[in-house]
Structure 1
Amino acid sequence: MTKGLTGGTIPLLYGKKEITFNFSKLEVRDILLPFYPAPLDDIVKRIKYSLLFPISSLSFRLHFSPGDKVLILVSDITRNSGLDIFLPILIEELNSCGIPDKNIEILFTLGIHRALKEEEQLAIFGKDIGSRIKAYNHNAWSDETVSPGITSRGNQIFLNRKIFEADKVVLTGTINFHYLAGFGGGRKSLLPGAAQYDSIIKFHLLSLYPEPGKGRHPKASAGILTDNPMHEEMEEVLDMVKPCFLLNTVMDSSKQIVEVFAGDPKEAFMKGCIYFLDHYAVRIRGKTDIVIASCGGLPYDINFIQAHKSLEYSKNALKKGGVLVLLAQCSDGIGNNTFLNWFEHKNVEEFELALRKNFEVNGQTAYSTLMKAKEYKIILVSSLPKEVVEKMSITPATSIEEAMDIAFSITGSSCSAYVIPQAAKVLPYMVDR
């Protein structure tokens, strides 16, 4: 963090571009940044070491026998995990165990995200892997599923059939904050990543308090795992499937791998979450009138649904009734065809009842968006049409300069502010003075 700035400029990412923000008219209390560790000297060496000496697990190779059918679960285009670096290493290790390419398959754990085009898949893991290994998009609406069981909350879970056709399942991904499940990564590859739509709906319903009218469950929040009903549900599904190994990464703002957590799917993930919290949760000693946040560019601002996560985290640094300026290009639009329909409900209480009656995953995101739009003044700098932004009860702006003019018209010129250049990665939290 850089404290007490009263003038200067800072670059903010917007899609693939960089925008220079001049804050000379603003008293910036802090620039909230994650604490990035030094880059790894040799990423490949670190990955191989993590496979040889994993967390609470046998070495990677010892989990496999010659001829095993192996399924590797991977993230989609909205989550950069360093797949192009670690996937060739995993496949090389499997080949050395006597497992040929034809026995290895890749499943993109899309949840309800759109299917990836072939060129998008190749952009993620490269042409060499694309020519050797079969890759599939998970389809949440397909009936090609198998149920591993019923959770303690009474939800019968259905997952992609390929998980159960494989002899061994390997989970991969990247650890991030998740605004409902505490953290992304780990068990999230299975639920909701590889789950059937009905299972995904039941899972996301856990984000609401059991009693109608009480809104969001207080523990279904970023950075929280203890007593988080969504995390607990995912852990139960993990126990049902029993994947043999997990490899999760932590990425920096340059989309480079800064740490690797590999081994037992529960223990390695938990170690990764502790590490991520230590580096990406940023302490603040007070909230400000204005927060200026950039998602951090692609893929974090590819659409509004992804950008909403930055909105969720950034609000932690904002006074009630304050102004939140968010830079999110949203080159892929909103991210879901039915999302905007939910904003026919302008009242939060009415919205909650409608959501419980006819729950949709993106309805929950819309509900969360409206809650914040009612509590704060949100100004969005994006490529979305003006009428689309306004329908969400958000004020549109075409530039950071226009957004700040609007902000000052609300707060006046004498106000405090935080700037968060990588808001998708930073979770502000209050500490006592």
Structure 2
Amino acid sequence: LEDGGINRDRIRILIATGMHRPNLGEELRQMVGDYVFNNYEILNHYSRREKDMEIVDEIEGTPIGINRVYLEAELKILTGLIEPHFYAGFSGGRKSIVPGISSFETMKFMHSFSMIDHPNVRNCLLDGNPFHEYALRITEKVGADFILNVVIDRYRRISGIFSGHFNRAHILGCKMVEEYATVRLNKRVDMVISSGGGYPLDATFYQISKALICARDILKKGGTIVILCECREGFGSREFINVLRSASSPEEFYERYSDPKKFVIDQWCAQNIFQAIEHAGSIYVYSPNLSEEDLGHLGIKKIENIQDTLDRLIPEHEDIVVIPEGPYVVGMVQDS
């Protein structure tokens, strides 16, 4: 950009935090590198700062707000990673805008109970996926001049670079991810053994919802799920823990949180966990950092000895799928 004639003091980097906490201090330095950290203006997006937002659209009665810093820019460039995403189909592209730099009210709509409950809001599906289609609509509305998205391999090395038009380049990246990160199955299975994907993806149980949903999508009703994860930071945010502890069954959760007026932060991942609990007959979790009491409240069985548990479960199940990479690999049943 500087070589093209844009002065450094006219370049701003806006971190698309969505509803997550800001990236500050040494964490930010590690994320962007010393040179960028020391030489460019870097801003975090705060979804709850109404003064930072401008209404750009209305969808189903919800005002859609986007960060003014982005809207006021003469040249808008999006960066991101393309991988399977259990709501948007794939991450990257339009997701830098929604939910990346959207208002809290927009987030409430995009992560509402009804949105997460939609059958087409799922991994590796774009056509007919309302999460994707609404995010694309909003991105078209606010504009994006260029994207630079990457695809990485299992060793976190860049294996594909997709740049250009915010939708066309993104679609090409999604096709690459689908080719290498999905496995077609001709039927659902009796048991799925998976992982949280390793650090940092399995830092909290909040993120394990992704592995549970991937397992649920290829599991027979009443089947068994086994998840191995570290969860070095425990369950996750205080809001997420409160949501999980407020219900002890899928029915209780649905009754409490299906009303959009009762929306709370992090209910969407809790919703996914209860969806998996409702579908599976049994869920087993190995994690040295999660208590038997907290898992038991959800009806999840805590594993103390992995090998002993697998030695007991494997003979009881006929069709078994093992997914060492966890949610980085998506199984897709042909009839779905």
Q: Does 1:264 align with 2:165?
A: yes
Residue type matched to 1:316 in 2? Answer: D
Aligned length: 330
Residue 306 of structure 1 is matched in structure 2 by: 207
Structural mapping, 1:14-413, within 5 Å: 94-205=1-112, 208=114, 216-343=117-244, 344-357=246-259, 358-376=262-280, 377-382=282-287, 383-401=289-307, 403-404=309-310, 408=313, 412-413=315-316
For residue 328 of structure 2, give the secondary structure of its aligned residue in structure 1.
coil
Q: Equivalent residue of 2:236, what SS?
A: coil
Retained in 2: the 8 A contact 1:251–1:257?
yes
Deviation at residue 246 of structure 1 after TM alignment? 0.7
Q: Distance in 2 between matches of 1:178 and 1:421?
A: 18
Change (3 A) 1:161 1:392: farther
Post-superposition shift, 1:175?
A: 0.9
Report the Cα offset of residue 373 of structure 1: 1.3
In the TM superposition, residue 399 of structure 1 has moved relative to its aligned partner by 4.6
- In structure 1, the gaps of 5 or more residues are 1-93, 210-214
**After superposition, what is the alpha-carbon deviation per residue over 1:366-418, rounded to whole angstroms, capped at 9, x for unaligned?**
1221121132111112222322222333222245335425x62xx64564422
CA displacement, residues 218-244 of structure 1 (integer Å, 9 cap, x when unaligned): 111111111211112101210121011
SS of 1:247's equivalent in the other structure is strand
CA contact (8 A) 1:280 1:427 kept: yes
Paired with 1:356 and 1:292, the residues of 2 have a C-alpha distance of 30
Partners in 2 of 1:401 and 1:416 — Cα distance?
A: 19
Q: Which has the higher Rg, Structure 1 or Structure 2?
A: 1
Describe the shift of the 1:114–1:146 C-alpha distance in structure 2 as closer, same or farther (beyond 3 A). Answer: closer
Task: Report the alpha carbon displacement of residue 148 of structure 1 after superposing the two structures with TM.
Answer: 4.2
- Partners of 2:292 and 2:276 in 1: how far apart? 19
TM-score normalised by length of structure 1: 0.71
Paired residues of 1:151 and 1:237 also in contact (CA < 8 A): no
Give the CA deviation at 1:293: 0.8
Structure 2 unaligned spans of 5+: none
Give the 3-state SS of the residue equivalent to 1:188 in structure 2. helix
Residues 185 and 392 of structure 1: is their aligned pair in 2 closer, same or farther, counting only changes over 3 Å? farther
Q: State the shift of 1:165 in Å.
A: 3.1
* Contact 1:186/1:269 (<8 A) preserved: yes
State the identity %: 30
Q: Secondary structure at the match of 2:326?
A: coil
Q: Following the alignment from structure 1 to structure 2, what is the Cα–Cα distance between the partners of residues 362 and 172? A: 25
Distance in 2, matches of 1:282 and 1:417, equals 14
Distance 1:414 1:318, change over 3 A: closer
Q: TM-score, with normalisation over the residues of structure 2?
A: 0.91
Deviations 1:188-224 (A, max 9, x none): 111111112121001222x616xxxxx8111111111
2:267 aligned partner, one-letter code: G
CA distance in 2, matches of 1:430, 1:168: 42
Which of 317, 329, 334 lines up with 1:426 in the alignment? Answer: 329
CA distance in 1, matches of 2:20, 2:231: 15
Kept in 2, the 8 Å contact 1:147–1:156? The answer is: no
Q: Deviations 1:116-164 (Å, cap 9, x if unpaired)?
A: 2321112222112111112222112222323242234232111222112
Conserved in 2, the CA contact under 8 Å of 1:293 and 1:419? yes
SS at match of 2:234: coil
Q: Is the 8 A contact 2:85 2:124 kept in 1?
A: yes
| CA RMSD of superposed structures (Å) | 2.1
Higher RCO structure, 1 or 2 (CA under 8 Å, sep 6+): 1
Cα gap change, 1:354 to 1:174, in 2 (>3 Å): same
List per-residue Cα deviations over 1:15-55 (Å, max 9, x = no partner): xxxxxxxxxxxxxxxxxxxxxxxxxxxxxxxxxxxxxxxxx
Q: CA deviation at 1:296?
A: 2.4
Distance 2:100 2:298 in 1: 27
